[in-house]
């Protein structure tokens, strides 16, 4: 005697041949409400137009970088290929802001509904104790060149073509409207970051952000990582996608599955 779950899975797959590929994981992730709806639809012979399946994916950034506050004596600095990004102020009171983006549109089918989002980053160096680090949605596109800062990477390196800098979205010809990055005033998520270790940001606003990127991929420029800019020596150093401990975005979503064609009886041959 099959288990109830197996029974319903078999019945679903009989009703919808496209579900032959339905994985056990996806099946188990389907909500009971979805299952009930699908089972009812199968039982009364309706074509189910919006059968949803729940999924969880983890994706690394497609790009990440640091905006180093412009210092006329040093020129425009960046760290496109570096192992770290920074948020907060260094010991000289110079501001650093991280930027990172994820190819959400390439990983999640159009029409999906985002149900949960969390960003995990490894913080690998800081002179400060617990301080709030915020994520803000970026409002304009930006780049990642080949600059790679020396030593601890806190001072950056001369920007290379298409690097994001404090002044540039793409060095050296495309500028931010506002120096230090064009980003939403809305806090997407905030987290207290203390000593070195792994930290996670998660919120309803992050769900809304990712949903907006799925619905309109052309508006996806990622998040700016905003540290404490109220005092000197507040900087937090996080590891980048180029490092051995990259940022990771976990997204839970319900995908809209295409309905299978409705079967019609074969007409009897005419005499
Ligand atoms: Ca990078």
- pLDDT of residue 51 exceeding 60, the answer is no
Predicted confidence at residue 256, as pLDDT, reads: 84
- pLDDT of residue 153 exceeding 50, the answer is yes
Token pair of 230, please?
């109220």
Q: What residues does each domain of the chain span?
A: 4-48, 58-255
Residue 36's pLDDT band, with cuts at 50, 70 and 90, is: very low
Residue 13's pLDDT band, with cuts at 50, 70 and 90, is: very low
Average pLDDT, the chain: 85
Token pair of 192, please?
């207290």
What spacing in Å lies between the alpha carbon of 223 and ligand 1's midpoint? 14
Q: What number is the average pLDDT over the span 47-74?
A: 86
What spacing in Å lies between the alpha carbon of 189 and ligand 1's midpoint? 22
Residues 238 and 123: beta-carbon distance below 8 Å? yes
- The one-character DSSP state at 105 is H
Beta strand 197-202 pairing with 157-158: unpaired
What spacing in Å lies between the alpha carbon of 83 and ligand 1's midpoint? 7
- pLDDT of residue 44 exceeding 70, the answer is no
| Gap between the Cα atoms of 147 and 162, Å rounded | 10
Residues 102 and 61: beta-carbon distance below 8 Å? yes
- The one-character DSSP state at 51 is -
Predicted confidence at residue 265, as pLDDT, reads: 67
Neighbours of 16 (CB within 10 A): 19
What spacing in Å lies between the alpha carbon of 181 and ligand 1's midpoint? 16
């Amino acid at each position: 005697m099959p288990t109830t779950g197996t029974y319903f899975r078999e019945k679903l797959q009989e009703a919808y041949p496209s579900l032959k590929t339905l994985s056990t994981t996806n099946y188990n992730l389907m909500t009971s409400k979805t299952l009930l709806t699908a089972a009812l639809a199968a039982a009364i012979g309706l074509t189910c137009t919006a059968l949803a399946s729940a999924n969880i994916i983890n994706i690394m950034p497609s790009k990440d970088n640091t905006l180093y506050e412009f210092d006329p004596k040093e020129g425009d600095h960046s760290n496109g290929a570096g192992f770290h990004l920074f948020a907060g102020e260094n010991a000289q009171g110079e501001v650093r802001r991280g930027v990172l983006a994820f190819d959400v549109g390439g990983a999640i089918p159009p029409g999906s509904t985002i149900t949960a989002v969390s960003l995990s980053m490894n913080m690998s160096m800081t002179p400060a104790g617990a301080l709030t680090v915020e994520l803000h949605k970026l409002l304009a596109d930006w780049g990642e060149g080949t600059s790679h800062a020396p030593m601890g990477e806190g001072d950056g390196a001369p920007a290379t073509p298409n690097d994001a800098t404090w002044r540039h979205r793409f060095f050296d010809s495309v500028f931010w409207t506002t120096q230090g990055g064009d980003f939403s005033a809305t806090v997407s998520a905030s987290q207290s970051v203390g000593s070195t270790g792994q930290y996670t940001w998660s919120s309803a606003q992050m769900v809304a952000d990712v949903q907006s990127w799925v619905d309109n991929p052309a508006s996806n420029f990622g998040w700016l990582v905003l540290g404490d800019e109220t005092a000197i020596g507040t900087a937090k150093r996080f590891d980048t996608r180029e490092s051995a401990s990259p940022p990771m975005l976990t997204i839970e979503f319900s995908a809209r599955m295409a309905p299978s064609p409705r079967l019609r009886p074969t007409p009897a041959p005419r005499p």
